[in-house]
Chain A
Amino acid sequence: MTFISIEFLLFLAITVLLNYIIPHRVRWILLLVASYVFYASLSIQFILLLLISTAFTYFTGIFIEKQETKKQKKKAMVVGISVLLFFLGWFKYFNFVNESLRSLATFMGWNYAIPYQEIVLPLAISFYTFQAVSYLVDIFYGKQKAERHYGYFSVYFAFFPQLVAGPIERARKLIPQLKVEQRLSYENLVYGMKRIAWGFFKKTLIADRLAPIVASVYDSPNPSGSEIVLATILFSIQLYADFSACSDIAIGSARMLGINLTENFKQPHFAVSISDFWSRWHITLSTWLRDYIFFPLCKRKKKRSEIYFAIVITFLVSGIWHGAAWTFVIWGLIHGFYRVFGDATKSYRESMASFIRLDRSPVLHRWLKIAITFLLVCFSRVFFRSDTVSQAFEHAKLFLSISSWSPVGMIKAFEIFPLFDLLLFIFFFIILQLFQYIERNNGSAWEFLSKHSTFTRLAFYIFLIFSVLVLGVTGDGFVYGGF
């Protein structure tokens, strides 16, 4: 039962209906059962791991709180986090480390006997582990009281709208909302449905329509440079549509239950710098990394070089979190380099902009920054999308080759699209851009729509639903669902 299915919509409708019928005091039972049913429908073999991780985090939280001295609390927290990271490391990184060591041993001519292990990655482990780590750290710092109600804590740990791919929530935001009686609200129901419909639109009409086209280039043994450039740009659009759709559906589903989840995206492809990009893309992961990796690494650091080092390490962790492969490690390091290079050259770049009088045309300057940031992000995604490091470097070389960007080559590259798919993509991409344009100028496209006549609104909603039903396609789940 993935988000993009009739089964999920039925499941959500029944859960929402029951949620408002039954008394508040037993709603946590409904939400817990619904969350475990949802998880089991996707990955029944790892439900036990989810239950163990929940129980372990719950009791560790209480144990940390009960310690008398700061030193004891710290010891309990470190042990707790180590166990959680051991689970994550075993399932997600064992083979990565094992195979890397084997390659190193082969290169050095050493004997290496540990065989490859068939380990399946438990669904959502990266997401719920990060939530658990933040919970334990917050208890240690006294920002979070250890939750004593096992039921509410378990719902926080496994809340089905955000379990599989976030947003990564903090306990102090989610648990109080679960405890407060959420009354049936017309606004919440309608807003939730609109966000879900918009998520379906982005996922089935943009992301999953682009996925096979991008794959046809990235899986091809001999793609042309222009094809790589085009496929990488399309992959950026696909990834945004895919992941933001997942967040839309999560936020919409939770809102129908009266719960507000944190927004995860703010039009990241309109960022004017790499640091701006990371304040708009996967916001809940960025803030998690900032609070639990970057800030602690910066403690007592006063030299710029030391803070640059902390930035690179933070992005390295981000890369490793995304996937157990050297391609993700390199992707993370590229972003760390971008961020440091961007900061170190800021004054030179500003002087240059002033010298060529670009700063006298702020609109042009802004759009130039947006275009450069987008292309830098696209380049990094060559590594994100490629299957192996050698393939990634081949693709990166093609991406950076000037001949790959020739207009003739780029026009020819569009042949990767069947004509009908190209027309559909252009049409729906324009709709997406119009929606985002309205959001940039009006704050919320939904509020903008609400100011229009009932006929206009209904026409838009019917257009969304019919487009999904008639032209939508579904692929292999969400990209971030695999992390």
Chain B
Amino acid sequence: MRNIEKYRNAFIHVLELEEDEVVENLELAESAEWDSIAHMALISEIEDVFDVSLDSEWMTEFNSYQSGIELLERLGVDFINE
């Protein structure tokens, strides 16, 4: 499975979203599903899936679908040339 699919699946699985609801402009607290509690569960899922560890600063930086990708890229997860 490609990394972008793993990333999307984390949202679908944890936030209980439909496939078409995981869009690129998805933002924390903008939908009922992605609230602050679900955010912590989403971080745990992403840490497990990509075998990375997000510290507190990165956790607060991760506030949208897009910023999550940028954050993971900084941690070495390749979304382009995989």
A residues with CB within 8 A of B: 141, 143, 275, 290-292, 295, 298-304, 307-308, 310, 343, 346-347, 350
- Given that A343-B35, A346-B35 are contacting pairs, would A302 and B41 also be in contact in the complex, using a CB cutoff of 8 Å? yes
**Given A301-B40, A302-B44, A310-B40, 14 further pairs, Cβ under 8 A:** A141-B55, A143-B55, A292-B56, A298-B43, A298-B44, A300-B47, A300-B48, A304-B37, A304-B38, A304-B41, A307-B37, A343-B37, A346-B32, A346-B35
- Given that A300-B48, A302-B14 are contacting pairs, would A295 and B32 also be in contact in the complex, using a CB cutoff of 8 Å? no
Cα(A292)–Cα(B55), bound, Å: 10
Q: Let me know if A291 and B41 touch, CB within 8 A.
A: no
Residues of A within 8 A of B41 (CB): 301-304, 307
Q: Let me know if B44 and A301 touch, CB within 8 A.
A: yes
Residue of A141, A290, A299 near B44 (CB, 8 A) is A299
Check if B5 is an interface residue, CB within 8 A of chain A. Answer: no
Q: Let me know if A347 and B32 touch, CB within 8 A.
A: yes
9 of the cross-chain contacts (CB-CB < 8 Å) are A300-B48, A301-B41, A302-B45, A303-B41, A307-B40, A310-B40, A346-B35, A347-B32, A350-B32
Q: List 9 A-B pairs, minimum CB-CB distance, nearest first.
A: A291-B56, A298-B40, A302-B41, A295-B56, A302-B44, A307-B40, A307-B37, A300-B44, A343-B37
Smallest CB gap from B13: residue in A:
A302
Residues of A within 8 A of B57 (CB): 143
Residues of B within 8 A of A308 (CB): 37
Residues of A within 8 A of B35 (CB): 343, 346
Q: Residue-by-residue, is B11-23 near A (CB-CB < 8 Å gives 1, otherwise 0)? A: 0001000000000
Residues of A within 8 A of B56 (CB): 290-292, 295
Q: How far is the CB of A96 from chain B (nearest CB, A)?
A: 29
Residues of A within 8 A of B32 (CB): 346-347, 350
Q: How far is the CB of A70 from chain B (nearest CB, A)?
A: 11
What is the interface of chain B mostly: helix, strand, loop, or mixed?
A: helix
Check if B66 is an interface residue, CB within 8 A of chain A. Answer: no
Check if B59 is an interface residue, CB within 8 A of chain A. Answer: yes
Q: How far is the CB of A298 from chain B (nearest CB, A)?
A: 4
Q: How far is the CB of A146 from chain B (nearest CB, A)?
A: 18
Residues of B within 8 A of A299 (CB): 44, 47
What is the interface of chain A mostly: helix, strand, loop, or mixed?
A: helix
Q: How far is the CB of B50 from chain A (nearest CB, A)?
A: 13
Smallest CB gap from A340: residue in B:
B37
From 45 to 82 in chain B, residues with beta carbon under 8 angstroms from any chain A beta carbon are 45, 47-48, 55-57, 59
Among A292, A295, A301, A302, the one with the most B-chain Cβ atoms within 10 Å of its Cβ is A302
Q: How far is the CB of B39 from chain A (nearest CB, A)?
A: 9
Smallest CB gap from B14: residue in A:
A302
Residues of B within 8 A of A350 (CB): 32
Q: How far is the CB of A402 from chain B (nearest CB, A)?
A: 33
Among B37, B38, B48, the one with the most A-chain Cβ atoms within 10 Å of its Cβ is B37
Residues of A within 8 A of B59 (CB): 295
Q: How far is the CB of B62 from chain A (nearest CB, A)?
A: 12
Cα(A310)–Cα(B47), bound, Å: 18
Residues of A within 8 A of B48 (CB): 300
Residues of B within 8 A of A290 (CB): 56
Cα(A347)–Cα(B35), bound, Å: 11
Cα(A275)–Cα(B37), bound, Å: 11
Cα(A298)–Cα(B43), bound, Å: 9
Smallest CB gap from A141: residue in B:
B55
From 26 to 44 in chain B, residues with beta carbon under 8 angstroms from any chain A beta carbon are 32, 35-38, 40-41, 43-44
Cα(A298)–Cα(B14), bound, Å: 15
Cα(A310)–Cα(B40), bound, Å: 11
Cα(A446)–Cα(B41), bound, Å: 41
Among B48, B55, B59, the one with the most A-chain Cβ atoms within 10 Å of its Cβ is B55
Smallest CB gap from B42: residue in A:
A302
Among A298, A343, A350, the one with the most B-chain Cβ atoms within 10 Å of its Cβ is A298
Cα(A141)–Cα(B55), bound, Å: 8
Cα(A295)–Cα(B44), bound, Å: 10
Q: How far is the CB of A288 from chain B (nearest CB, A)?
A: 10
Residues of B within 8 A of A310 (CB): 40
Among A292, A301, A350, the one with the most B-chain Cβ atoms within 10 Å of its Cβ is A301
Residue of A275, A292, A303 near B36 (CB, 8 A) is A275
Cα(A292)–Cα(B59), bound, Å: 12
Q: How far is the CB of A278 from chain B (nearest CB, A)?
A: 11
Q: How far is the CB of B10 from chain A (nearest CB, A)?
A: 10
Residues of A within 8 A of B14 (CB): 302
Smallest CB gap from B59: residue in A:
A295
Q: How far is the CB of A405 from chain B (nearest CB, A)?
A: 32
Cα(A343)–Cα(B36), bound, Å: 9
Q: How far is the CB of A345 from chain B (nearest CB, A)?
A: 13
Cα(A240)–Cα(B59), bound, Å: 30
Residues of A within 8 A of B43 (CB): 298
Smallest CB gap from B32: residue in A:
A347
